Structure 1
Amino acid sequence: MTRPPFLVDGHLDLAWAAGLGRDLTLDLETLRERDPVPGQTAMVTFGELREAGTRVCFGTLFALPRTGESPEGYMDPAGARAQALAQLDTYRRWEDRGLIRLLRNGAEVGTHLADPDGPLGVVLLMEGADPVRDPGDLGFWVEAGVRLIGPAWGRTRYAGGTDAPGPLTPEGRALVTAMRDLGVALDASHLDDAAFWEAVEIGPRMIVSHSNSRAFLPGNRHLTDEMARAAAASGGVIGLVFLSPFVRPGWTLSQPRVGLDELAAHARHYAGLVGWEHVGLGTDLDGGFGREKAPAGVERYRDVGRFLDLLPEEHRAGVAGGNWARWLTRLL
């Protein structure tokens, strides 16, 4: 089948992967031979993104909090900030080497998309706002190039999040207000319902970089129909996650990987609610999981296009990248 002209991925943890010791400049086979991350077969390299036709992605700054499973994580805002600054430096070094191009506004995105021979375009997205010391610190990150922030991951100082119910904190309300005033878009992925609806009332531009539908899955990690409608009403796009347990409830590694047709059901559900123009990709591939948990048929990043073959032909280009490109060029 004819594939869309380009992809835009709403969520890739590229600098996080580099921080784990993965060299994304290697070809995928070589990276897999040298991979320092056990149990998560790598899928993403710069070469794979190029072969897939990915022209732009939202590249994250993700600070990992300390948990029983992650003793190396941060314990305070200074630790979170240090992680995010190290990842920011990674993106800048990649840009210096000509591997990526950091994009800060819609005009730059439009110019970049018109250059088919350019490197990967990256729009910086902060996933979890703990690296922001306080709302007054937001200007520093805007100057550094951050254009979208998700206040939560699990619980943060700013908001209730995944498996951690709760509203925006007073600092969170101040941060979201500052984001609105400075034109920083809010990524609603990971926000608990209470925090989500408070953010809607404050009124920043909103997208959902990587969330599937709660119509198929329980839990506050996924969007209710009402949340999807609110995100679309703000002009936002919703990115679909390529993670088996986020596609089918109760999926475990002991089971066959879910089918791409099951992920396509999430896409069709969203389209029925808000229209295909608000549906995009937010694969999160290599974002804490590998091929083992990706849908069947996606053995490496260049296989993402197989998903598009299951969608109505007239909407494939929009889901592949056109919908994100429209949002980026008009609202970034």
Structure 2
Amino acid sequence: MTDAHFLDSHFLIDGHLDLAMNALDGRDLTLALDALRAADPVPDQTATVTLPEMRDAQVRVCFGTLFALPASPDTPGDTDHAGARAQALAQLDEYHRLQDAGHLTLLTSAAAVKAHLNTLDAPLGVVLLMEGADPIRDADDLPFWVERGVRVIGPAWGRTRYAGGTDAPGPLTPAGVDLVTAMRDLNVTLDASHLDDHAFWDAAQIGPRMIATHANSRALVPGNRHLTDDMARAIAAADGVIGLVLLNRFICPLPEGSLDRVPLTALADHARYYADLIGWDRVALGTDLDGGFGAEKTPAGIDRYAHVPRLLDELPTGVRQSVAWGNWARWLTTHL
């Protein structure tokens, strides 16, 4: 399923983790998971991710986000571009702090990813992904972020200045058209995970490189947070890859806030559905396990990151390596 060959073939690549967001929420990601859980400053979310925990799970590379949380009636966050930019820059600084301390390595090119995957005992490799483009002032500001290592951008989360998004229907705005056009011209990849349908097709028409770092199938769970069959086909046609999300209500139709533990077989159903639609070489991991929820909302049997490989046991033997790392490795070493 993959043409990539590395010194070690027993590892994971994760398409979506919010490491810096969690660090700035007060979580010490350098601790063992049990130590973090014993003194976790984030309430009501049993942590599943730390850097030692990821090492135990043999994660070699992940896409790490710069995520500027928009303000809402229930949560503090940014209310304008300046606030979003400040959040993203603080998270970027956190990644550099962790890199300076030897806990991770920021990867900005296909060659760097290939070298990293061929280096045994290297720290976690992180590819920077901006989730929600509000930190970017405008299209002319894109080179600033590219120079600082951002290689993938999702224009939306909910609604942004650039696009309709999750539970916020709408097209690309004029500023969004300019931004996606600039992304195409600078070879910055578009993450379609949170785009509303209208915005997705507007972006696809512009023709940037496209992936979905963490998006399950709308055929199995309704709502514009998930990909339609045609969206999945469009991502595959762009030589993209789709990461599977481990949040319970993105796996089975459940109300927001549900603590029902869904079976791992239900997540495997999403993998098989995508595989039947676009092939196993397009299916990967995008766990989002630290994305604002804890072990209470993960599938049954996934109580910590080290349990993620249990998903692979639910897949056909011949495709497990491709889903675990091969498909993302192929994409990263071809397109980053």
Matched, 1:44 2:34: no
The ranges of structure 1 where at least 4 consecutive aligned residues each deviate by more than 6 angstroms after the TM superposition are none
Matched letter for residue 26 of structure 1: L
Structure 1 residue aligned with 2:288: 284
Structure 2 residue aligned with 1:110: 114
Q: 1:250 Cα deviation (Å)? A: 2.1
Structure 1 residue aligned with 2:330: 326
| SS of 1:320 mapped into structure 2 | helix
Q: Distance in 2 between matches of 1:120 and 1:164?
A: 34
The 8 Å contact of residues 244 and 251 in structure 1, kept in 2 or not, is answered as no
Cα gap change, 1:260 to 1:140, in 2 (>3 Å): same
Q: Distance in 1 between matches of 2:254 and 2:17?
A: 24
| SS of 1:147 mapped into structure 2 | strand
**RMSD (Å), alpha carbons:** 1.1
Q: 1:256 Cα deviation (Å)? A: 3.6
Work out which of the residue numbers 23, 29, 49 in structure 2 matches 1:24. 29
Structure 1 residue aligned with 2:5: none
Work out which of the residue numbers 5, 15, 22 in structure 1 matches 2:10. 5
Give unpaired runs (5+ residues) of structure 2: 1-7
Structure 2 residue aligned with 1:133: 137
Q: 1:253 Cα deviation (Å)? A: 5.7
Aligned 1:1-332 pairs, distance under 5 A: 5-70=10-75, 72-250=76-254, 256-332=260-336
TM-score in terms of structure 1 length: 0.98
Matched letter for residue 32 of structure 2: D
Matched letter for residue 155 of structure 1: R
TM-score in terms of structure 2 length: 0.96
The 8 Å contact of residues 253 and 292 in structure 1, kept in 2 or not, is answered as no
Deviations 1:46-96 (A, max 9, x none): 0111011100000000000110111x2001000000000000000001110
Matched letter for residue 8 of structure 1: I
Cα gap change, 1:4 to 1:289, in 2 (>3 Å): farther
| SS of 2:127 mapped into structure 1 | strand
The 8 Å contact of residues 4 and 316 in structure 1, kept in 2 or not, is answered as no
Q: 1:6 Cα deviation (Å)? A: 1.0
Q: 1:32 Cα deviation (Å)? A: 0.4
| SS of 1:309 mapped into structure 2 | helix
Deviations 1:180-200 (A, max 9, x none): 000100000100000000111
Matched letter for residue 150 of structure 1: G
Cα gap change, 1:224 to 1:254, in 2 (>3 Å): closer
Matched letter for residue 47 of structure 2: A
Cα gap change, 1:30 to 1:162, in 2 (>3 Å): same
Matched letter for residue 92 of structure 1: H
Q: Distance in 2 between matches of 1:209 and 1:32?
A: 27
Q: 1:296 Cα deviation (Å)? A: 0.5
Cα gap change, 1:254 to 1:173, in 2 (>3 Å): closer
Q: Distance in 2 between matches of 1:314 and 1:308?
A: 10
Q: Distance in 2 between matches of 1:257 and 1:243?
A: 10
Cα gap change, 1:59 to 1:254, in 2 (>3 Å): closer
Give the share of equivalent positions with the same residue, in percent: 67
Cα gap change, 1:156 to 1:109, in 2 (>3 Å): same
Q: Distance in 2 between matches of 1:252 and 1:277?
A: 31
Q: Distance in 2 between matches of 1:210 and 1:237?
A: 10
Matched letter for residue 111 of structure 2: A
Which of 252-261 and 60-69 deviates more?
A: 252-261
Q: 1:217 Cα deviation (Å)? A: 0.9
The 8 Å contact of residues 168 and 196 in structure 2, kept in 1 or not, is answered as yes
Matched letter for residue 201 of structure 1: Q
Q: Distance in 2 between matches of 1:12 and 1:256?
A: 22
Matched letter for residue 67 of structure 1: S
Matched letter for residue 173 of structure 1: V
Q: 1:116 Cα deviation (Å)? A: 1.6
Deviations 1:277-300 (A, max 9, x none): 000000000110000000000010
The 8 Å contact of residues 258 and 297 in structure 2, kept in 1 or not, is answered as no
Cα gap change, 1:79 to 1:269, in 2 (>3 Å): same
The 8 Å contact of residues 248 and 254 in structure 2, kept in 1 or not, is answered as no
